[in-house]
Chain A
Amino acid sequence: MEFEAIIGLEVHAELSTKTKIYCGCTTEFGGEQNTHCCPVCMGLPGALPVLNKEVVTYAMKAGLALNCEINKETYMARKNYFYPDCPKNYQITQDETPLCKNGYVEITTEEGTKKIGIQRIHIEEDAGKALHREDGTYVDFNRSGVPLIEIVSKPDMRTAQEAKMYLENLKAILQYTEVSDCKMEEGSLRCDANVSVRPKGSTEFGVKTEIKNMNSFKAVEKAIEYEIKRQIEAINRGEKIVQETRRWDETKGETIVMRSKEEAHDYRYFPEPDMVYLVVDDEWINNVKNTLPELPDKKRARYISEYGLPEYDASILTSSKALAAFFEDTVKEGASPKDASNWIMGEVLRTLNDREMSIEDIKVQPKHLAKLIELINNGTITGTIAKKVFKDMFETGDDPEKIVKEKGMVQISDENAIRDIVNKVLDENPQSVEDYKNGKTKAMGFVVGQVMKASKGKANPQLVNKLVEEELQKR
Chain B
Amino acid sequence: MHTKTLHEIRELINKGEVSCVELTKNTLERISSVDDKIGAYLQIDEEGALNKAKEVDEKIRRGEEVSFLAGIPMAIKDNICVEGLKTTCASKILENFVSPYDAHVTKRLKQNDAVILGKLNMDEFAMGSSSENSAFKKVRNPYDLERVPGGSSGGSAAAVAAGEAYYTLGSDTGGSIRQPASLCGVVGLKPTYGRISRYGLVAFASSLDQIGPFTKDVEDCAHVLEAIAGYDEMDSTSAKKEVEDYTRYLNQDIKGLKIGIPKECFGEGLNEDVRKEIENAIAVYRKLGAEIKEISLPMSKYALAVYYILASSEASSNLARFDGIRYGYRADEFEDVVDLYVKSRSKGFGDEVKRRIMLGTYALSAGYYDAYYKKALKVRTLIINEYKRAFEDVDVILTPTSPTVAFKIGEKSNNPLEMYLSDIYTVPINIAGVPAISIPAGFVGGLPVGMQLIGNYFDEGTLIKVGHAFERETEFSKVRPSI
Query: Footprint of B on A, CB under 8 Å?
Result: 39, 42-51, 78, 80, 82, 84, 87-90, 137, 139, 266, 268-270, 273-276
Contacts of A84 in B (CB 8 A): 325, 337
B87 and A45 contact, CB distance less than 8 A: yes
Q: Which of A42, A78, A89 has the most CB of B within 10 A?
A: A89
Chain B residues bordering chain A, tally (CB within 8 A): 45
Task: Report the nearest A residue to B340, measured CB to CB.
Answer: A84
A270 and B236 contact, CB distance less than 8 A: no
**CA gap between A47 and B327 in the complex, in Å:** 14
**CA gap between A266 and B97 in the complex, in Å:** 30
Contacts of B313 in A (CB 8 A): 270
Q: Is B341 an interface residue (CB 8 A)?
A: yes
**CA gap between A274 and B199 in the complex, in Å:** 10
Contacts of A82 in B (CB 8 A): 320, 323, 338, 341
**CA gap between A50 and B323 in the complex, in Å:** 24
**CA gap between A276 and B433 in the complex, in Å:** 14
Nearest 10 A/B pairs, CB to CB: A89-B320, A273-B206, A268-B364, A273-B207, A45-B202, A46-B200, A46-B202, A266-B366, A88-B321, A274-B206
Q: Is B81 an interface residue (CB 8 A)?
A: yes
Task: Report the nearest B residue to A38, measured CB to CB.
Answer: B101
A275 and B320 contact, CB distance less than 8 A: no
- Pair count A-B, CB < 8 A: 98
Please give 10 more A-B residue pairs, beta carbons under 8 A apart, in addition to A84-B325, A268-B364.
A44-B100, A44-B327, A46-B87, A46-B103, A46-B201, A48-B235, A268-B317, A270-B364, A270-B373, A275-B236
Residues of B327-345 at the interface with A, using a CB-CB cut-off of 8 Å, are 327, 337-338, 341
Partner of B317, one of A50, A90, A137, A139: A90
Contacts of A87 in B (CB 8 A): 321, 326
Contacts of A78 in B (CB 8 A): 317
The answer to whether residues A47 and B314 also contact, given A39-B100, A270-B369, A274-B206 and a CB cut-off of 8 A, is: no
Contacts of A42 in B (CB 8 A): 326
B290 to chain A, nearest CB (A): 36
Residues of B263-302 at the interface with A, using a CB-CB cut-off of 8 Å, are none
A48 and B369 contact, CB distance less than 8 A: no
Task: Report the nearest B residue to A40, measured CB to CB.
Answer: B234
B320 and A80 contact, CB distance less than 8 A: yes
Q: Is B26 an interface residue (CB 8 A)?
A: no
Contacts of B206 in A (CB 8 A): 273-274
Q: Is B432 an interface residue (CB 8 A)?
A: no
Q: Which of A42, A82, A137, A266 has the most CB of B within 10 A?
A: A82
A129 to chain B, nearest CB (A): 14
B198 and A48 contact, CB distance less than 8 A: yes
B364 and A43 contact, CB distance less than 8 A: no
Contacts of A90 in B (CB 8 A): 317, 320
A276 and B237 contact, CB distance less than 8 A: yes
A132 to chain B, nearest CB (A): 12
Residues of B227-270 at the interface with A, using a CB-CB cut-off of 8 Å, are 233-237
B325 and A45 contact, CB distance less than 8 A: no
Q: Is B365 an interface residue (CB 8 A)?
A: yes
Residues of B51-99 at the interface with A, using a CB-CB cut-off of 8 Å, are 79-81, 87, 89, 94, 97, 99
Contacts of A47 in B (CB 8 A): 101, 199-200
A131 to chain B, nearest CB (A): 14
B475 to chain A, nearest CB (A): 39
Q: Is B463 an interface residue (CB 8 A)?
A: no
A50 and B236 contact, CB distance less than 8 A: yes
Chain A to chain B contacts (Cβ below 8 Å), 17 pairs: A43-B321, A45-B321, A46-B103, A47-B199, A47-B200, A80-B317, A82-B323, A84-B325, A84-B337, A90-B320, A268-B369, A270-B314, A270-B317, A270-B369, A273-B206, A273-B314, A276-B236
